[in-house]
Structure 1
Amino acid sequence: MKGKYLLYKNELTFRPRRRPSPAAYVYPIECVYPRPKDWYATIYDPVFKTYSLGDLQFNIGLMNDDFSGPAESTRFPLGSIIPIMASVVQKTHQPLLLLLEECVAATTPELYPESTMYPIISNKGCLLESVSSRSKFEPRQKSSEIRLSLQTFTFAMGEEVFIHCKLLAWDPNGLDSTKKACHFVEGHGWELLDNLAQSNLCDCCESKCKSRRQRSVASEKHGMVQKAVIGAFTITDVNS
C-alpha cells in the first residue's frame, strides 16, 4: 500500500533451460489500483494454525481519529496523533488478549542489520514514547484489539516511515512482566493497561523486563507471536 493506491508487484521470468541456468530475462510487472476507503492490510495471508488454538488472523493499520475506520491520509503533521489499531480474529479457540510486544520505526519496509531504527515499544510491552509525549494505549473495547494513540516524532521527517511490530496474542490470565501493555502516565508513573491493580508488572520498564529462565512446554501453548508492518506514512513539518 502506498498512499491512496494498492501496488501488486511480480516478475515474469523467461528461462529457456532448466535451473540452475540463468534466466534469459526478468521483466518486472506492477499493477496499481485505487485503495478502497474501507480497506487496510492484513499482515499475512493465508491464516496460519496455532497449537490447539484454532485459526488466528492478525490485522494492523492506521485508523481515523475515532478508530471507526482506516485513515483517510498517510501524512501526519509533527505533533499530531497517529491512531493505530491491531486486532486478532479469534474463531473457535479460547479468547486471547492482544498485546504489542515491540514496535520500532524505520525508513524501510524490511529491517536490516544496518537499518536506522527509532524505538516506540520495547522491553516486552513498554510504550517508551509515552514518557516524553502524549502517546498512550487507549482503553480496550475488546480483548482481541489494542489501540495506540502515537504522537508523531521527528525521526525521518519528510520520508516514508514504516513501523515494525511484534504482535502477541496471549492467554488473558497469563500476564506477567514479559506479557503486558504498559504506558507512562504523568503524575502516576507506569500503568498497566488491563488492570491498574497489577501495575507493578510495569516496574521493570525502567530497567530490563526479563523472561523466565525456564518455561514449560505447556506455557508455550498459551499464545502466538506474529510480526507486522505498518506503512508507509509520512511525518510532515507543520510549517511546510
Structure 2
Amino acid sequence: MHCVSSKHSVMMVSFCQGALLLSLAAAMAVYADMNVDCGPDFVMLLWTESRPQFKFFALPKDWYATIYDPVFKTYSLGDLQFNIGLMNDDFSGPAESTRFPLGSIIPIMASVVQETHQPLLLLLEECVAATTPELYPESTMYPIISNQGCLLESLSSRSKFEPRQKSSEIRLSLQTFTFAMGEEVFIHCKLLAWDPNGLDSTKKACHFVEGHGWELLDNLAQSNLCDCCESKCKSRRQRSVASEKYGMVQKAVIGPFTITDVYS
C-alpha cells in the first residue's frame, strides 16, 4: 500500500490517518494494492485488484480535526475587555503546547482593551497557582505574585516582568516551579487596569533583580515603591478621585497546563 499526500493543512493529518487504517483493512481483505490521496477538502482511495477501483470521499464543509486549542481567555468588565493567556517564546502568538518541563519558562501575557477610556496601565495585582479551575478554602495554592504586585517567584528563580510594549499590556516570564508535577495546573490572577499616573506601593509591578534588589517595571527611579515587597505594602496617600474612577479589577484564570519532570 502506498500513500501519496498532496499539499494540505495540518488538520488533515488525523483524517488521513483514519483513511489509511480503513484502506489497510480493506486491502488486506482483498489482497489488493492501494493508494490514498489526501487533499484539503477530500480523501480519494485507489486500489488495484482485477482492475483499478476509485472511491472519492468529500469532507463536510464544517469538518476539522482535533488540534491544540491555545489557552487564551477573554473577560469583559463594563466597557473594558481583559485578555490573558499562555504565549510562545517571543510573545508573538499563543503557546504551542501546554506542557512545560521543570525549570523552563512559561510566557504569560495579559492585556486590556479600552474603547472609551483614557490610556490605562495594566497590572497583575495577585497570582496563585492551584490544581483546580476555581479556588476553594481547601485548595492547595502556590503564591506567584502577592503583596499587590510583587513577583515573589523572582526572588528564587529567573521569573521576571518583561519590558512593556504598551501600557495596556503586561508580559510575564515565569520559570516553572515544583508544584503539582504531572497534574493540571491553573493560575488565578487579579488584573488591575489603573491610571498610569497613579502608581504607589499598592499599585505597581515589581520584580527582584539579583545584584540590584527590587525594581519597579515602569520606572526604575521609583523602585522605592517596591521596598515593601518583603513586608506589607500599604498606600502612603489617599486615592485621588481621578485614579479611583480608572481602577477596575478583573479576576482571570490561565490553564490548564502541566509542569513535567525534565526526565519524563
Q: TM-score range by the shorter chain?
A: 0.7 to 0.9
Give how far 1:211 is off: 3.8
Distance 1:203 1:41, change over 3 A: farther
Query: After the TM superposition, which of the residue ranges 70-79 and 42-51 deviates more from structure 2?
Result: 42-51
Give how far 1:222 is off: 2.3
- The SS at the match of 1:205 is helix
Q: Is the 8 A contact 1:103 1:166 kept in 2?
A: yes
Give how far 1:29 is off: 36
Q: Is the 8 A contact 2:103 2:175 kept in 1?
A: yes
Distance 1:216 1:46 in 2: 39
Q: Is the 8 A contact 2:74 2:84 kept in 1?
A: no
Distance 2:36 2:245 in 1: 41
Distance 1:59 1:36, change over 3 A: farther
Distance 1:87 1:50, change over 3 A: closer
Give how far 1:109 is off: 0.1
Q: Is the 8 A contact 2:182 2:261 kept in 1?
A: yes
Give how far 1:51 is off: 17
- The SS at the match of 2:202 is coil
Distance 1:77 1:178, change over 3 A: same
- The SS at the match of 2:228 is helix
Q: Is the 8 A contact 1:40 1:70 kept in 2?
A: no
Encode CA deviations 1:203-223: one digit per residue, 9 max, x unaligned: 000100024686566542122
Distance 1:50 1:239, change over 3 A: closer
Distance 1:54 1:164, change over 3 A: closer
Encode CA deviations 1:75-95: one digit per residue, 9 max, x unaligned: 000000000000001112100
- The SS at the match of 1:52 is strand
Aligned to 1:11: none
Give how far 1:37 is off: 19
Distance 1:191 1:226, change over 3 A: same
- The SS at the match of 2:76 is coil
Distance 1:57 1:41, change over 3 A: farther
Distance 1:52 1:89, change over 3 A: closer
Q: Is the 8 A contact 2:71 2:94 kept in 1?
A: no
Give how far 1:134 is off: 0.2
Runs of 4+ aligned structure 1 residues displaced above 3 Å come to 23-31, 33-54, 211-219
Distance 1:78 1:238 in 2: 6
Pair 1:24-2:36 in alignment: no
| Structure 1 runs not aligned, ≥5 long | 1-22
Encode CA deviations 1:38-76: one digit per residue, 9 max, x unaligned: 999999999999999971100000000000000010000
Q: Is the 8 A contact 1:53 1:92 kept in 2?
A: no
| Structure 2 runs not aligned, ≥5 long | 1-28, 39-56
Of structures 1 and 2, the one with the larger relative CO (CA 8 A, separation 6+) is: 1
Report the TM-score, using the length of structure 2 for normalisation.
0.70
Aligned to 2:125: 101
Counting matched residue pairs gives 217
Larger proportion of helix = 2
Distance 2:179 2:104 in 1: 14
Distance 1:173 1:157, change over 3 A: same
Q: Is the 8 A contact 1:62 1:85 kept in 2?
A: yes
Distance 2:206 2:231 in 1: 14
Distance 1:151 1:144 in 2: 23
